[in-house]
Amino acid sequence: MLLYDVLFEGKFVDLTVENGMITSIVPATHDHTPSDTCKDCSGLTVIPGLVDIHTHGCAGIDTMDAQFEEMCHFLAQNGTTSFLPTTMTMDYDSILRVTQAKRDVPGAQILGFHMEGPYIAKQYKGAQNEKYIKNPDLDEFKSLPDMKIVTLAPELEGSLDFIRNCGAVVALGHTAADYNTCIAAMEAGANCLTHTFNAMPPLHHRNPGPIGAAVEKNSYVQAITDGLHLHPAVVKLLYQTFGPDRMVIISDSMRATGLGDGTYEFGGQEITVKDSIARTQDGAIAGSTSTLWTCVKQAVKFGIPFADAVRMATRTPAEMIHADKKGRIEVGADADLLLISPKLDIVEVMIAGKFIPMENEEHHHFLETKAKIQHIASIFHSTGTFLSFEVIAQGNINTTYRVDYRQEDDTVKSYILQRVNTYVFKNPVQIMENIRLVTNHLRNKVRRLGKPALHYYSTSYNQNYYVEEDSAFWRMCSYIDSVALDSSDSLDVLRGAGEAFGQFQTQLSDFNAALLYTTIPDFHNTAKRLQTFFEAIEADEYGRVAEVKDEIAFISQHAELASQLSAMQENGEVPLRVTHNDTKTNNVLFSRKDQKPLVIIDLDTVMPGLAMHDFGDAVRFAASTAREDEPDVSKVALDLDKYCAFAEGFIGKTADALTEREIETMALGAITITIELAVRFLTDYLTGDKYFKILYPEHNLVRARCQLALAKDMLAKREKMESIVREIVAKV
């Protein structure tokens, strides 16, 4: 079996697997075609299968149940390819029964057992059953086959002799031992701590205890990095102290793992799992409900480098138990492998050279999306080897991906691939014609300023879009390395955004507006938006009107005010210009280096419109003290400093062309567009959430309330907003 174009430690390689073993790893040649024995792994990273040396159970099964089919199956699905079923503090016969159960079942491989107790301390029993606790018994232990690890408390009588002669890895845990006792145990051969910090005395500065001894002896330390057993700072402390060759990530998972909250049996006791935390009736934490892969991802989230987090759940635990062919990717090692997506989802699992059938949704979702994206991108002439893709969670309308291709010279070239929302944009072909005209018009102007120009790629039919059979509408443009800001506290950045939108308008002032299609009729016709809103109230199709009475009352009260600009536009009191019409400041891309604006994106709504709307929409978004969908409306207000900074930028660039009437109504533009958007969100809520993407059922309602709170604050600050504009104009 050949896995080609797979990322291994950051490089593309071709990896061959024969008879359950890795037999070669060579730099990728990029000239394979997929077949039964030849697998296209582009877009995926290969890491060793996870090795869990401390897990009690999952999927409803506990090690003490002495039946492994379901455990091995569940663990394999979740990336653990080999493990030590871990027994509880129970009677000898129960533990013996575990070691005699059928082991050669499909899925994760059992490498032996970990015996946690009964040779432990009552004071630190944690979730272990006190009834069965006793002193170390060498004969008893030796009669249990294949025990790879034993967790014990070294202060118990007979410990040192036991450690010297037991023939297994000895981990100190569930112990009250002091530093000296632990040092003596380590000198006798113990070389690990079991779930470090949990079920042992803490690290006291005059009584360093087991943890101090582990530092002194540089022993292995197991850690449950699920985010519940150890504070993230303590996870980092262990990492920085012991490093990736000594720290071992374990799951310590129990039978509730993969099942959710409820009441479970664990070592003969009743355990309650609530909000994913398992506790005994006395309140002690009773193992985790996380898989080992979840613990690895948590460790990464806490700041541990990915490669090290993986090592601590693969090679390091394997070395500790002398499973030298496990947990590593090298020629001669066992072919236990995981293929993971850039988002760290497990897409494929190989055990002993064979891919297992995957049941998880991530697997299917990733493969489907990858195939689709590769196909669409190839229509637009992307070059290089597919490396990865990422959904860019931006915008409430279209779906956007960044797609990366590694080029022959080893550089990475990225593209932006977008699926246009054809519910919102009924005629996307016309949008693409507008975009073609506008980007052509802007190209030379922006290049002269040393800024990047937006470029849309064409297909072989010389169209800047592609329509699939199911009428999905795609387009691809160049990716510009930059940052888009959802919010910024820097007044310089806001001034920059104002300049960018102002300049955009100026650059289009010599563009013939008659050439543009109207992509959404009456897009910022607030009077029309209000009319549609009142119609939706009348129809009350979803029975939601009753709960928004207050909002309706406020909007009705201000309907006249919010319609003033529409009326002025109609009777020609204010001029139509070519405007952007969607001036959220995250539609300005900034340079990573100096936070200066680079380029304006999202040109779907470039149409004839009012300068005040472009000004107002940006202010609404960027000068608010809270995000656009803040549920706590007491946090929402207009920040006048931010308002002023954006206005300085925008008016600085446009003042020369602005008429007196435009200047007078600039602030009104902000109030109008804020009320208008509230009306649009609320209309969408009343008509079944068909327009804006929502993340939860009341999202549009929350958004509307937030916009109304902002509008209220703007109304209170209207005079100040107007005088700020006048002062800036006077200075320009």
Stretch that binds ligand GN1, among 44-52, 378-386, 391-399, 466-474 (CB under 6 A): 391-399
Which among ligand GN1, Mg ion, none contacts residue 55 (Cβ within 5 to 8 A by kind)? none
Question: How far is Cα 543 from Cα 239, in angstroms, rounded to an integer?
Answer: 55
The packing angle between helices 209-217 and 179-188, to 10°, is: 40
Does 629 help bind Mg ion (rule: CB under 5 A)? Answer: no
Nearer to ligand GN1, 64 or 706 (CB): 706
What residues between 258 and 287 interact with ligand GN1 by CB under 6 A? none
- Angle (CA) 591 413 455, round 5°: 65
Please spell the DSSP secondary structure of 532-576, one letter per residue: HHHHHHHH-TTS-SGGGHHHHHHHHHHHHHHHHHHHHHHTTSS--
Does 392 help bind ligand GN1 (rule: CB under 6 A)? Answer: no
Kindly write out the interface string for residues 663-692 of this chain, putting x where it contacts ligand GN1 by CB under 6 A and - elsewhere.
Answer: --------------x---------------
Does 628 help bind Mg ion (rule: CB under 5 A)? Answer: no
Stretch that binds ligand GN1, among 216-224, 470-478, 597-605, 722-730 (CB under 6 A): 597-605
Binding residue for Mg ion (CB under 5 A) from 14, 65, 602, 639? Answer: 602
DSSP-assigned beta bridge partners for residue 404: 388, 414
Does 614 help bind Mg ion (rule: CB under 5 A)? Answer: no
Number of amino acids touching ligand GN1 (CB under 6 A): 11
- In 3D, which of 697, 719, 715 has the Cα closest to residue 707? 715
Could you identify the residue written with the tokens 């060793």? 48
What residues between 436 and 495 interact with ligand GN1 by CB under 6 A? none
For the chain, how many helices (H) and strands (E)? 21, 32
> Measured from the CB of residue 371, what is the shortest distance to ligand GN1 in angstroms?
26
Which among ligand GN1, Mg ion, none contacts residue 628 (Cβ within 5 to 8 A by kind)? ligand GN1
- In 3D, which of 709, 640, 638, 41 has the Cα closest to residue 339? 41
Kindly write out the interface string for residues 88-127 of this chain, putting x where it contacts ligand GN1 by CB under 6 A and - elsewhere.
Answer: ----------------------------------------
Nearer to ligand GN1, 311 or 584 (CB): 584
Nearer to ligand GN1, 307 or 391 (CB): 391
Does 616 help bind ligand GN1 (rule: CB under 6 A)? Answer: no
Report the relative pairing of strands 169-172 and 192-193 from DSSP bridges.
parallel
Does 396 help bind ligand GN1 (rule: CB under 6 A)? Answer: yes
- Angle (CA) 29 374 301, round 5°: 85
Question: How far is Cα 507 from Cα 511, in angstroms, rounded to an integer?
Answer: 8
Nearer to ligand GN1, 662 or 676 (CB): 676
Stretch that binds ligand GN1, among 193-201, 234-242, 364-372, 601-609 (CB under 6 A): 601-609
Q: CB–CB of 576/662 below 8 Å?
A: no
Does 605 help bind ligand GN1 (rule: CB under 6 A)? Answer: yes
Question: How far is Cα 585 from Cα 428, in angstroms, rounded to an integer?
Answer: 23
Element (H, E) at 714: helix 699-716
Q: What single-letter DSSP state applies at residue 128?
A: S
Does 395 help bind ligand GN1 (rule: CB under 6 A)? Answer: yes
Find the radius of gyration of the CA atoms of the chain.
32
Q: What are phi and psi of 246, to 5 degrees?
A: -125, -30
Does 602 help bind ligand GN1 (rule: CB under 6 A)? Answer: yes
Which among Mg ion, ligand GN1, none contacts residue 424 (Cβ within 5 to 8 A by kind)? ligand GN1
Question: How far is Cα 343 from Cα 412, in angstroms, rounded to an integer?
Answer: 18
Binding residue for ligand GN1 (CB under 6 A) from 105, 138, 397, 467? Answer: 397
Judged by phi (left if over 0) then psi (alpha if -120 to 50, else beta), residue 462 lies in left
Binding residue for ligand GN1 (CB under 6 A) from 252, 336, 551, 628? Answer: 628
Q: CB–CB of 310/10 below 8 Å?
A: no
Does 707 help bind ligand GN1 (rule: CB under 6 A)? Answer: no
Annotation says 252 is catalytic: yes
Nearer to ligand GN1, 363 or 703 (CB): 703
Please spell the DSSP secondary structure of 513-538, one letter per residue: GGG---SSTTTT-HHHHHHHHHHHHH
Select which of 62, 178, 252, 629 is catalytic. Answer: 252
Does 655 help bind ligand GN1 (rule: CB under 6 A)? Answer: no
Burial of 188 (0-12, 13-18, 19+ CB in 10 A): middle
Question: How far is Cα 601 from Cα 561, in angstroms, rounded to an integer?
Answer: 31
Does 65 help bind Mg ion (rule: CB under 5 A)? Answer: no
Binding residue for Mg ion (CB under 5 A) from 582, 629, 639, 648? Answer: 582
Which among ligand GN1, Mg ion, none contacts residue 289 (Cβ within 5 to 8 A by kind)? none
Nearer to Mg ion, 499 or 602 (CB): 602
Q: What does the binding site for ligand GN1 look like in residue numbers (CB under 6 A)?
A: 395-397, 424, 582, 584, 602, 604-605, 628, 677
Point out the residues that are catalytic.
252
Q: Which residues bind Mg ion (CB under 5 A)?
A: 582, 602
